[in-house]
Structure 1
Amino acid sequence: MSEVMDYKSRVSDPASRKFETFSYLPAMTKDQIKKQVEFLVKKGWNPAIEHTEPTHLQDSYWYMWKLPMFGETDVARILSEAEACHKANPDNHVRLIGYNNFNQSQGASMVIFRGKTV
């Protein structure tokens, strides 16, 4: 059995903090982000975009970028809003959420743009 790698993520070290599954991987490319948006749309989930400062990463409150895009299926429009949020808040983490209407929960949540860590 192989050793499980310990990711030394510590609250005291902002640069080491991990905040969701994809944060253990290299940052997603534009094409990979597009594929995630396509997945949300294919599942019928409502996309929403949120952002927060890296120093508040561990808080449960993130700022909502506009309102959730209920019923939006245009992948380009969703990507455009995510990029607009990132451009308006370049130092913040930006995450994409897919709300599942049937289960009344988040079907997916991932940081697609990483903010600057201190």
Structure 2
Amino acid sequence: MSTMQDYQSSLDDPNSRKFETFSYLPEMDQARIRKQVEYIVAKGWNPAIEHSEPENAFDHYWYMWKLPMFGETDVDTILAEAEACHKAHPDNHVRLVGYDNYAQSKGAEMVVFRGKPV
């Protein structure tokens, strides 16, 4: 039986913090992020962009970047909004959310840009 790996993460070390499942994997490049957006669109989920200061990512609600993109199916438009949010808030974490209308919950959520640690 293999041993479970312990991911060292602490509030004292901002570089070690994990936010969601994808945080435990190698950082996604643009092609992999695009695949995730394609998956969100294929599932019929509504994409939304959120951002937060790294020091507040655990304790506060994330800020909504504009309104959710209800019914948006153009992957390039969704990626452009994530990039625009990152350019407007370069020190913040930016995450992509896929809202599942049927389940009325988040179907997907991932940080696509990491802000600078405090």
Normalised by the length of structure 1, the TM-score is: 0.96
Q: Which amino acid aligns with 2:110?
A: M
Q: Give secondary structure in 2 for the equivalent of 1:83.
A: helix
Query: Which consecutive unaligned segments of at least 5 residues does structure 1 have?
Result: none
Q: Which residue of 1 aligns with 2:42?
A: 42
Partner Cα separation in structure 1 for residue 22 and residue 102 of structure 2: 25
Secondary structure (helix, strand or coil) at the match of 1:106 reads: strand
Q: Using the alignment, how far apart are the partners of 1:26 and 1:6 within structure 2?
A: 16
Could you tell me the TM-score, scaled by structure 2's length? 0.96
Q: CA RMSD in A?
A: 0.9
Counterparts in 2 of 1:49-88, with a 5 A limit?
Answer: 49-88=49-88
Which whole-Å deviations, capped at 9, do the CAs of 1:27-49 have from their partners, x for residues lacking one? 21111111000000000000000
Residue identity (%)? 70
Q: Which moved more, 1:53-62 or 1:37-46?
A: 53-62
Residue of structure 1 equivalent to 2:23: 23
Equivalences, count: 118
Residue 107 (structure 1) aligns with:
107
Structure 2 stretches lacking a partner, 5+ long? none
1:112 maps to amino acid:
V
2 CA distance for matches of 1:27 and 1:63?
A: 23
